[in-house]
Copies of this chain bind each other. A is one copy, B any other.
């Protein structure tokens, strides 16, 4: 784990791209080396290309960087890691071209999440899925081949919060065979140009987010799922083994997704409420054990107050890399219900990308 790594950002002017830049600008292990945006922005200084909308000022160094097009050329080719905040409609081709050029890409776009050989990673949950990439890199090295490019996908924002408490529970108490999640999602997840309209979200909630329920139901099964014997492909949990039902809502909250979940274990008897709580309290994620810079000190904050977690009060725990869980109690229908809160732009998007990159660095994959 030596040296500072060169980082590139694709989609640098968008809301996810801005978050990547903000996090990288303060990061001891990465330096921003290349920023990519549309041809309209290329050639401009970043401060002139971006409509900076973060609550912290754009760092002075980053202001002056000249934006390039999103092509695997120029300074991008010198990057150890490339973060993609691209929109799905352009991410597919661009990210592929970067991987083909031998680059390591961590993407927030949904395009490759369902590919059999692409890890879909919530870094405080399933960093072991990165092994599939690690093996690929090692194999190439052993064969004396050029280091291959690869892509690792960040999960959907609402999936990240959901799977955080599920992971330790499954590890300790065995499979979950039924799961419901009703989400109350913050608007920052939809970006800001235009994102969610004020007329849609003041004194209102919108009980629908396009594609979200399907992502939540599907991604959970891949993230909690396994890998084939070769260690080359992911094997999601089957629909029969785990029934997942999601209902997704947009609510008037800036940051922080709240999820009301209930779950049933396959094994009988189910654990007690206290055992479930203890399991959540004790969970320490792998990134934390690896000593990663951004890893949360306490992966899951288990709250005992009856009215917590709340997004405004609890979303910043461990700089947004921890997940808060409260109201763990028995469920008349399944086994347990609880409320999960996660910071959608940190552990649910750009922040997850940074922590994935820290894991890659800790494991010498980049």
Chain A interfacial positions (CB closer than 8 Å to B): 53-57, 178-180, 182, 184, 187-188, 190-208, 210, 217, 239, 243-245, 247, 249, 251-254, 258, 260, 262, 306-313, 316-317, 326-327, 331-334, 337, 339
Contacts and interface: CB of A to CB of B under 8 A. Distances in A.
Given A203-B253, A247-B182, A317-B57, A327 B208 contact: yes
Contacts of A206: 307, 310
A207 to B, nearest CB: 4
A200 B308 CA distance: 11
B249 A260 contact: yes
A239 B330 CA distance: 15
The 3 closest A-B pairs by CB, nearest first: A194-B194, A182-B182, A204-B312
Contacts of A56: 316
A312 B194 contact: no
A207 B307 contact: yes
B182 A260 contact: yes
Q: Which of A54, A188, A207, A310 has the most CB of B within 10 A?
A: A207
A312 B197 contact: no
B197 A311 contact: no
A195 B199 contact: yes
A331 B204 CA distance: 25
Given A55-B313, A182-B182, A210-B306, 19 more contacts: A54-B313, A55-B316, A178-B333, A179-B333, A184-B251, A187-B199, A188-B199, A194-B194, A194-B197, A195-B198, A196-B199, A197-B198, A202-B253, A203-B254, A205-B258, A245-B331, A245-B334, A249-B258, A251-B251
Given A197-B192, A208-B306, A307-B207, A312 B254 contact: yes
Contacts of A204: 253, 310-313
A178 B327 CA distance: 22
A331 B308 CA distance: 28
A207 B339 contact: yes
Given A312-B204, A316-B55, A254 B199 contact: yes
Given A254-B203, A332-B244, A184 B249 contact: yes
Contacts of A205: 184, 251, 253, 258, 310-311
Nearest to A316: B55
Contacts of A195: 194, 197-199
A302 B243 CA distance: 27
Contacts of A262: 180, 245, 247
A266 to B, nearest CB: 14
20 contacts: A53-B313, A55-B312, A56-B316, A178-B333, A180-B180, A192-B200, A197-B197, A198-B198, A198-B252, A201-B202, A203-B253, A204-B310, A204-B312, A205-B310, A206-B307, A206-B310, A208-B308, A245-B333, A247-B260, A254-B312
Contacts of A54: 313
A197 B337 CA distance: 26
A312 B203 contact: yes
A332 B217 contact: yes
